């Protein structure tokens, strides 16, 4: 049995059965972690309010047949505008891979404009927009990043393909 106490950002939360929940955390020491929270949906749950997306927390995790949240302490809440970016991190990051660069970008994001923050996150995940071109027509400086196929698209190709609603605008 392994126990770890670390800082984490809550990326997402979903129901698991009648009373439990599953949380997606990006931790400083373990990277992305999926953990079970027992009795999270019960009215007497101490942990539930701390484990909402956008919360920066200190969490104690125990690994025994997967991670389980044992204790939580909230530190602060991230701006609401970062929710779609946390969804991107949840989709694109690998589990149990420590990434201190991505951690520092996520926790130091308060002073950045949303577009600059998206570019820094993409860069930390290995999708640097500086070196990208449109997947379809090879135009430099693409306007969109598609989560569906992790590709870059220019304005024209994004309109033609109709995937703009599943894309992040870069400019």
Model confidence pLDDT, tens digit, residues 32-70: 999 999 888 888 888 788 888 989 999 999 998 889 888
Query: Which among 70, 69, 85, 89 is positioned nearest to 23, based on CA atoms?
Result: 69
CA 128, CA 120: separation in Å to the nearest integer? 8
Write down the mean pLDDT value for the chain. Answer: 85
Query: Which among 49, 52, 69 is positioned nearest to 5, based on CA atoms?
Result: 69
CA 32, CA 103: separation in Å to the nearest integer? 10
| DSSP bridge partners of 151 | 146
Mean pLDDT of 82-93: 86
Q: What is the pLDDT of residue 158?
A: 83
| Residue pair 31/95 in contact by the 8 Å Cβ criterion | yes
Report field, pTM of the whole predicted structure over 0.85: no
pLDDT in tens, 89-130: 998 888 999 989 888 888 876 556 666 778 888 888 888 888
Q: What is the pLDDT of residue 62?
A: 93
Tell whether the model's pLDDT for residue 164 goes beyond 80. Answer: no
Task: Report the C-alpha dihedral over residues 116, 121, 125, 131, rounded to 10 degrees.
Answer: 0
**Which domains, from first to last, does the chain contain?**
2-77 (2.40.50.140), 80-169 (no CATH)
Q: H-type helices in the chain, by residue range?
A: 83-92, 100-107, 114-124, 155-161
């Amino acid at each position: 049995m392994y126990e770890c106490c670390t800082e984490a950002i809550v990326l997402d939360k979903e129901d698991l059965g009648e009373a439990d929940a599953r949380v997606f955390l990006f931790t400083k020491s373990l990277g992305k972690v999926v953990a079970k929270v027992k009795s999270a949906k019960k009215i007497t749950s101490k942990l539930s309010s701390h484990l909402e997306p956008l919360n920066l927390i200190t969490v104690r995790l125990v690994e025994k047949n997967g991670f389980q949240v044992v204790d939580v302490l909230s530190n602060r809440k991230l701006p609401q505008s970062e929710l779609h970016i946390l969804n991107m991190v949840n989709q694109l990051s690998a589990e149990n891979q420590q990434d201190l660069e991505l951690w520092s970008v996520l926790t130091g994001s308060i002073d950045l404009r949303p577009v600059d923050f998206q570019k820094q996150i993409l860069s930390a995940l290995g999708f640097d927009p500086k070196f990208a071109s449109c997947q379809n027509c090879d135009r430099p400086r693409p306007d969109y990043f598609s989560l569906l196929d992790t590709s870059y698209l220019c304005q024209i190709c994004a309109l033609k393909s109709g995937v703009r609603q599943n894309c992040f605008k870069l400019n």
